[in-house]
A and B are shown apart, each in its own frame.
Chain A
Amino acid sequence: MTGQVFVLVEADEQGAIEVSLETLTFARSLGGELHAVVIGSSPSGLLDQLGAYGVEAVHHAEGDAFTSYAPAAWAAALVAAATDASVVTAAGTSRGNEILAHVAVRLGVTMAANVVAVDSTDPLVVSRQVLGGAAMEELPLADPVAVFTVAGHACEAQPTPAASSPTVAPIDLTVSADDLRARVVRTEPGEPDESGSLKSARVVVGAGRGAGSADGFKDLLELADLLDGALGVSRVVTSLGWRPHHEQVGQTGSRVTPDLYLACGISGAIQHWAGMSSSKTIIAINNDADAPMVTKAHYAVIGDMHEIVPAINDELRRRRSA
């Protein structure tokens, strides 16, 4: 592809977030001149980081309109910067999908969410995740500007050997009052929660309907603790109110990629599988030998989890004290 490729970069205090770096890597593979758009405060060191990923020009929107998040205003800034773009993209985060949908409407084009691969560049055809990642859709992007987001883990973030020193230019625009109608008026910090550790845990103990009741999690929590891991649950568990939603794994919960996922009393529905299929090793504990989770796992134990989990805990404690 030729022409300018624009990437909306999300950053925190440490710099660009990992999925934005993946998106820069993905975008670089399209060829063309790589541009980055940064909105709001820009952490020190970000410019060098973007240069290391091959960005040639950085467009920065700052000022009153961008001090708190307003999706339409952010989209307006991206559109104002990308007047000559042939591609506008961002990571498939909640911000990325939201802002790029706004951008697509403003440009009068299609938006493809969660692209994982480019199948051909002329004409541009992409593959994108559908059904929560369980299947892919081939979709042409035939508009003059291709607008899409890149799914997490679609590629590995990789700096370019040919690092550049990007130019920096402010984005010149006046944000309309309409574009500030929806704007964050207040934020509240998250509870110091266990689901933060769920996403980064090396071991996740998964629990489903087989847990039986809200009181059925004592042994599972102990197992998670013995393995220095986190508890993750199925949707049945959260919708019955047994455990909070932030512990849910799957299409409408967290995606986890631990070294070990121990699925206890979980049938292995597509939507749960979508959230944990990238686990390195999966052990299923289930009283039904034909459950999809059992047939798709690497290892399985058949039987009642209420007998098996305490026995595993005993064995772990025994070996630890030995």
Chain B
Amino acid sequence: MTDVLVCIKRVPDLGGEIRLTADSMSVDDSSLGHTVSPHEDCAVELAIQTAKDTDGQATVLTLGTSDAVEQLRTALALGCTGAVLIEADPVSYGPADVAAAIAEVVRAHEAAGTSYDLVLLGNDASDTGDFQVGIRLSYLLDRPVVTGVSTLSVDGGSVIARGGSPDGGTEIFEVPLPAVLTVMEGGVEPRYPSIPGRMKAKKITIDQVTSGLEPAGSGRIRLKLPEAQPNEVTILGEGPEAAKAVVDVIEKLGVLK
């Protein structure tokens, strides 16, 4: 029975262009949909699989505004059986603050007599890309941490985690539980929510908590976009008749063998 906590972050689904808010402090997401990082999609999938395989539970957690309930519900529809919302404005939280707030939830769960054997996170959040919340969390909980995990299996009191190595091969870690793992896209295919899954998800009560910690913040001064490169696209034509013009360009580039 492995109880898994999986941490996700609501982020704007950017599409083809980024716009910043007037103060340049964040992405203007007023006209955008929202999603979570593909890494976190895979973490959710691994959490659900692990819970199923071991008769355990998968609980999804986010620190965010009440809007983030949308992302929690999606994870519940996929098969998570519990959800925690740490209600806070994520913009005022730096990575150390997020880790501390998650650690509080894990400890409170332990104080209640149960334990999250595994905490899964994404390797890096798709907006801030800090590459560190999982590692910070592991120190706060005094647990081992493996990053960049693509697949995992629980074996008795330990977890075997596989991920890519710098030379293109695979590295296998075996760490004692409880542990923290950060997940990278590529090892599993996240499932899609089913209609019955969505129905079931609606009935699950989301555990809303607030953090007792005062966030220190990330220190961000501002965001900047790269200068838009003025671009004039040359339309080579329409349909298969344009093939000749394409090959002319390819020839001119000198990339033909």
**Residues of A at under 8 Å CB distance from B?**
10, 12, 17, 69, 71-72, 93-95, 97-98, 101-102, 104-105, 110-111, 113-114, 125, 127, 129-132, 134-140, 142, 149, 178, 181-190, 193, 195-196, 202-203, 227-229, 235, 239, 241, 245-246, 248, 251-253, 259-260, 267-271, 273, 280-281, 283-284, 289, 291-292, 294-304, 307-308, 310-312, 314-316, 319
Contact = CB atoms under 8 A, between A and B. Distances in A.
B248 to A, nearest CB: 9
Interface stretch (B46-54, B81-89, B225-233): B225-233
A300 B255 contact: no
Given A190-B169, A299-B236, A239 B189 contact: yes
A303 B220 contact: no
A114 B129 contact: yes
Contacts, number: 254
Given A98-B135, A130-B129, A190 B167 contact: yes
20 contacts: A95-B166, A97-B131, A105-B135, A111-B95, A131-B14, A131-B27, A132-B129, A136-B223, A178-B142, A181-B175, A182-B146, A185-B174, A188-B170, A189-B169, A271-B14, A283-B246, A289-B235, A292-B15, A294-B233, A308-B243
Looking at B16, B124, B236, the one whose CB has the most chain A CB atoms below 10 A away is B16
Interface in B230-247: 231, 233-247
Interface of B: 14-18, 20, 27, 37-39, 94-96, 123-124, 126-132, 135-136, 139, 142, 144-148, 164-176, 179, 184-187, 189-190, 218-226, 231, 233-247, 249-251, 253-257
B173 A184 contact: yes
Return the 3 tightest CB-CB contacts between A and B, nearest first: A292-B16, A311-B240, A311-B243
B148 A98 contact: yes
Nearest to A13: B167
A105 B96 CA distance: 9
Nearest to A136: B224
B148 A316 contact: no
Nearest to B239: A303
Contacts of B173: 182-185
A229 B255 CA distance: 9
Contact of A138 (B131, B170, B221): B221
Nearest to A289: B235
A110 B38 CA distance: 25
B131 A98 contact: yes
Contacts of A253: 185
A259 B253 contact: yes
Contacts of A102: 135
B147 to A, nearest CB: 5
A105 B139 contact: yes
A229 B256 CA distance: 10
B147 A98 contact: yes
Chain A's interface: helix, strand, loop or mixed, by majority?
mixed
B170 A190 contact: yes
Contact of B247 (A93, A114, A181, A316): A316
A235 B37 CA distance: 12
B244 A190 contact: no
A239 to B, nearest CB: 7
